Amino acid sequence: MQPAAAASNVTTMRDQRTFETDRASTGSSLTDQVYRALKEDILAARLGSEPIVEAALAKEYGVSKTPVREALRQLTHEGLVIVLPRKGYLVRPMGVSDIVEVMDLRAILEPPLAAAAARNRSQADVERIERLLARTTPSSPSLDEVSLSLQAHEFIADMAGNRRAATLVRSLLDETARIPWLVPGLSIYLGEGEHDEVFRAIARGDAGGAEKAMAAHLDAAKASTLLGLGAR
């Protein structure tokens, strides 16, 4: 599946001054900054299907090859890029079968995590849920809203208290974030009312209700995505 044309035309050039300024203001290492920038470019399908060469990417980002190499190693470990022996790296392609696998795995992991979140919720969690429920949902979904939607799923996974499962969910959410960029014109499914139902169940400590609501939400998201892809 090829990246959307509009996304592939987005400029990714960054200069060393930008990274140094960020480093001074955030305290993060140069490798962390390159990792975040590179991951953002991958999720937004800006790198295309050409091999990634360390030296070329380092020149583009205005940094040495070392932070680029370390960032690529981390992204390889996360499964977003693959190694091409003697050629460099490649953003891992994502086809319909990959999307189905991602959605199916999320359906296995996230409903029980929502139930665990309901059992483990703290007062601070409930207060954050109330702020999320108070958000106004735009009439026209955007890619920014997709990002916020996925952050809600990450929040629920973190509330569950299972770090390994939350790490797996974050990896799957990264894959999910790529889908709108890879498929031109794909209708964006957010299911905001469904999110509200999950959050309300968690806030009142209804583990069974949270699990059921999350399962229904993910089923609807998968059906909408596959319909948009023309797959059955």
35 with 141, same domain: the answer is no
Note the pLDDT tens digit of each residue in 55-96. 988 888 889 999 999 999 999 988 888 898 888 898 888 888
Q: Domain containing 15: what range?
A: 5-91
Are residues 113 and 204 located together in one domain of the fold? yes
The more confident residue out of 49 and 8 is 49
Token readout for 1 is 């599946």
CB 8 within 8 A of CB 184: no
Residues 193/85, Cβ–Cβ less than 8 Å: no
At 177, the pLDDT band (50, 70, 90 cuts) reads confident
- Model confidence band, residue 1 (pLDDT cutoffs 50, 70, 90): low
Residues 156, 201 within the same domain: yes
Question: The domain spanning residue 31 has which CATH number?
Answer: 1.10.10.10
Final residue of a domain: which of 67, 91, 115? 91
> Is the CB of residue 220 less than 8 Å from the CB of residue 191?
yes
Q: Output the domain CATH number for residue 187.
A: 1.20.120.530
pLDDT of residue 13: 42
* Residue 128 and residue 62 in one domain: no
Of 57, 203, 81, the residue nearest 130 (C-alpha):
203
In this structure, are 86 and 100 located in the same domain?
Answer: no
Q: Is 114 found in the same domain as 77?
A: no
Query: Taking a C-beta distance cutoff of 8 angstroms, is the pair 217, 194 a contact?
Result: yes
Query: Domain check: are 81 and 150 in the same one?
Result: no
Q: Among 46, 84, 88, which Cα is nearest to 68's? A: 88
Same domain, 14 and 43: yes
- Compute the average pLDDT of residues 149-167: 93
Mean pLDDT of all residues in 98-119: 96
Last residue of a domain, one of 91, 126, 144: 91
Query: What total number of domains does the chain contain?
Result: 2
Token pair for 203: 């806030």
Same domain, 87 and 103: no
107 & 222 share domain: yes
Contact call for residues 187 and 224 (beta carbons, < 8 A): yes
Please check whether residues 120 and 211 belong to one and the same domain: yes
- List % helix, strand, coil for the chain (3-state, nearest 5): 70, 5, 25
pTM, two decimal places: 0.70
The partner residues of 84 in beta bridges, in order of sequence, read: 88
What letter represents residue 155's amino acid? Answer: F
Same domain for 69 and 143? no
Helix (H) or strand (E) holding 90: strand 88-91
